[in-house]
Amino acid sequence: MFKSRNWKLIVVALTIIILLAVPGYSWMKKTNKEHAERQRSQLSPLIMVPGSSATVNRFNELVDLLNENTPYKHSLLKVEISEDGTLTYSGSIKKEDNEPFIVIGFQNNHDGYSNIKKQAGWLDDAFYEIAKTYKFNNFKAFGHSNGGLIWTYWLEHYYSDYSDEITIKRLMTLGSPYNFSEKSIKYKTQMMTDFIKYRKRLPKNMIVYSLSGGENYESDGIVPESSVEAGKYIFQNQVKSYTMMTVTGAEAQHSSLPQNKQVVRIIQEYLLKHQVKPGPNNSQNSKHKEN
């Protein structure tokens, strides 16, 4: 009787193991396939995040300028994310385009540190979906104004979930007020304090470029230059390299910076794979500081 019962228990146990093993094997096979596809991928998108009050259309003119006078036309995908996490797509990524532009914007695009933290969470929702869909293994990031702050918060709090499979190669921030409207680093905002607190979470091999506008010697008309420069207390000695650049001349005001010809040239030269060689007049209005 005991032998019969033991035999029945063995059969039941084997059945359970088989039932569990089949979906487990299927899941593992699918995961391995996706991992292999990601490793082979040639896709290296430039993912852009606009600042407060801006929509997914914020970089339309910038994209047009980047696609001018070059045989390498970058396709454009826009992703807007609502407060409930719903993603709305417009545009597309062309099959032959290995360096597309992806703009991620927010339905709730208001200012303030509490909202920046929410937007970083929504950015993560969108990033997860596009990474799953397009299976890229590296990318570059660009953020104008608060867009740079959103990227920084995301890098400190979310990027570690992807870092084993997806590498961020470069981050470029443009007019990003790391200390908000404060003109002196002596008075650190809560956001600045938190960025410094978690800076060791930043990816060590990332290259960072911080651009500011020089309408005058103090600001781009909205953001104090010292607030942009405060980024050095976050990135310096934490990432592979950190370079500050100041753009002056025409269209150096805060809202005009994404269309500034010098900014366009800097993006082409430092973020995109097919770099445009600077001509005699292409860098005359920008100042560089590298750390």
The closest alpha carbon to 98, from 71, 141, 61, 136, belongs to 136
250 falls within a domain: yes
What is the rounded distance in angstroms from the CA atom of residue 238 to the CA atom of residue 180?
21
pLDDT, tens digit (0-9, with 9 covering 90-100), for 110-142: 999 999 999 999 999 999 999 999 999 999 999
SS3 label, residue 52: coil
The pLDDT confidence band at residue 286, using thresholds 50, 70 and 90, is very low
The closest alpha carbon to 219, from 185, 253, 264, 249, belongs to 253
6 falls within a domain: no
The alpha carbon of 83 is separated from its chain's Cα centroid by a whole number of angstroms, namely 19
What's the structural domain count of the chain? 1
What is the rounded distance in angstroms from the CA atom of residue 166 to the CA atom of residue 117?
22
pLDDT above 50 for 181: yes
pLDDT, tens digit (0-9, with 9 covering 90-100), for 51-104: 999 999 999 999 999 999 888 899 999 999 999 999 999 999 999 999 999 999
Q: Which of 176-180, 201-205, 274-278 has the lowest mean pLDDT?
A: 274-278
* Token pair in block for residue 109: 């695009």
1 falls within a domain: no
pLDDT above 50 for 234: yes
Burial per residue of 216-239, b for 16 or more beta-carbon CB atoms within 10 angstroms, e otherwise:
eeebbbebbbbbbbbbbbbbeebb
> Residue 75 is part of a domain; what is its CATH number?
3.40.50.1820
- Which residue do the tokens 């082409």 mark? 268
54 falls within a domain: yes
161 falls within a domain: yes
175 falls within a domain: yes
Domain limits for position 168: 44-290
